[in-house]
């Protein structure tokens, strides 16, 4: 039997994480010939290569090395370079996970070449078109042949937008697959000991979205809120983009003076999961971390006005606080005052993101409709 040629296009840390179990399954399946194209969107070692090593994934077949640039420059560079690769590889299917510039560029390039596209994490919506991720995910969904949704809400979003039901498969979330598989390894990391931390004595803060870190007022407010959380410890893994902006806006030295804020470099997946699981609370603008906090039963305050994961809010595990200092502090105090009750409630919440079998389902669906894709 001739194997199915599949090209997976990725370029950022979250994409590597959510693709890891799928890559492992595809590599062990004789019916699938997998090629990994890394766009180089995250060109910093700590943001990508470390994750290939951490998950024991094969090296990418191709690295497009696009590096940084404006959204238009990055997307255009990926499309120009990827087109040559796809014309050479002639895959039966191109898979794009998530909502990055690499996702959209991969989907558009394949669609223009009449190669079927499968979108993993389809249907997520924040309904905020100011977010580049929202633009990417919407356009990707509408030029995809197969749409793998993580939740019922995502499926409903696609149907509302007129996408044919026969293209949509509700598989659950591949990020949950990763969490279940990697949690035992995460538990064994010594990140808490290295930082001199006890479980449940700190807040974990992350910020990387352009609307927060490229906006002086928003970034200043986030730092102000972190300072006001004293005396509780704030662990702050700093994204390279965020660090650059903090220095540019002359906020870095202000944080350095605060002994209760521990700034650390970006961590590997296992260390990050260990930090989330043992935190009192998460303060983040990351979509992925909102879900990880939900799965690990940790209260989350999201530093945004919208979220693509309303499921976490409906169940009371997550609150939108934006970058309003007073709102952040008030919500933090509310959670701390009702901590026992909230923690108990989180334990009983249903998981709307599947059972940790999404990657297996995706592989089976792809194989089952192989002949349909080739027509």
Please confirm, yes or no, whether 208 is among the known catalytic residues. Answer: yes
Single out the residue of 239, 209, 234 nearest to residue 223, CA to CA.
234
Say which of 38, 208, 239, 270 is annotated catalytic: 208
Q: Dig out the tokens for 14 from the structure.
A: 């979250």
Query: CA dist 185 to 54, 172, 174, Å?
Result: 10, 23, 18
Single out the residue of 197, 247, 253, 248 nearest to residue 227, CA to CA.
253
What's the half-sphere exposure (Cβ side, CA atoms, 13 Å) at 288?
Answer: 25
**How many Å apart are CA 251 and CA 237, to the nearest integer?**
15
3-state secondary structure of 358: helix
- Inter-residue contact 86 to 80 (CB < 8 Å): no
Non-local (6+) Cβ contacts of 352 within 8 A are 151, 152, 153, 311, 315
3-state secondary structure of 252: helix
**How many Å apart are CA 176 and CA 351, to the nearest integer?**
10
Catalytic residues: 208
């Amino acid at each position: 039997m001739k194997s199915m040629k599949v090209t997976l296009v990725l370029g950022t840390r979250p994409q590597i994480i959510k693709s890891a179990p799928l890559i492992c399954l595809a590599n062990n399946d004789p019916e699938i010939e997998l090629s990994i194209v890394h766009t180089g969107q995250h060109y910093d070692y700590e943001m990508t290569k470390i994750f290939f090593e951490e998950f024991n994934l094969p090296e990418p077949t191709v690295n497009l090395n696009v590096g940084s640039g404006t959204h238009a420059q990055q997307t255009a560079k990926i499309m120009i370079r990827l087109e040559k690769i796809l014309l050479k590889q002639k895959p039966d299917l191109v898979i794009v996970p998530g909502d990055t510039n690499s996702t959209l560029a991969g989907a558009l390039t394949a669609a223009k070449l009449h190669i079927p596209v499968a979108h993993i994490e389809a249907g997520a919506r924040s309904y905020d078109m100011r977010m580049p991720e929202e633009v990417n995910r919407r356009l990707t969904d509408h030029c995809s042949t197969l749409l793998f949704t993580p939740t019922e809400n995502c499926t409903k979003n696609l149907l509302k937008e007129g996408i044919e039901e026969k293209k949509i498969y509700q598989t659950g979330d591949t990020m949950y697959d990763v969490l279940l598989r990697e949690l035992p390894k995460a538990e064994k990391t010594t990140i808490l000991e290295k930082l001199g931390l006890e479980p449940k004595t700190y807040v974990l803060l992350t910020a990387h979205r352009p609307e927060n870190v490229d906006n002086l007022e928003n970034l200043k407010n986030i730092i102000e809120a972190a300072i006001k959380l004293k005396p509780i410890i704030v662990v702050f893994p700093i994204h390279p983009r965020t660090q650059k902006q903090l220095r540019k806006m002359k906020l870095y030295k202000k944080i350095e003076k605060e002994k209760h804020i521990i700034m650390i470099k970006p961590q590997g997946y296992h260390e990050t999961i260990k930090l989330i699981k043992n935190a009192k609370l998460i303060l983040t603008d990351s979509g992925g971390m909102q879900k990880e906090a939900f799965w690990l039963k940790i209260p989350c305050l999201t530093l945004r006005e919208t979220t693509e994961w309303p499921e976490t809010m409906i169940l009371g595990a997550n609150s939108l606080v934006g970058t309003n200092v007073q709102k952040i502090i008030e919500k933090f105090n509310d959670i701390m005052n009702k901590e026992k009750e909230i923690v108990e409630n989180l334990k009983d919440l249903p998981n709307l993101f599947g059972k940790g079998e999404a990657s297996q389902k995706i592989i089976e669906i792809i194989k089952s409709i192989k002949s349909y894709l080739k027509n």
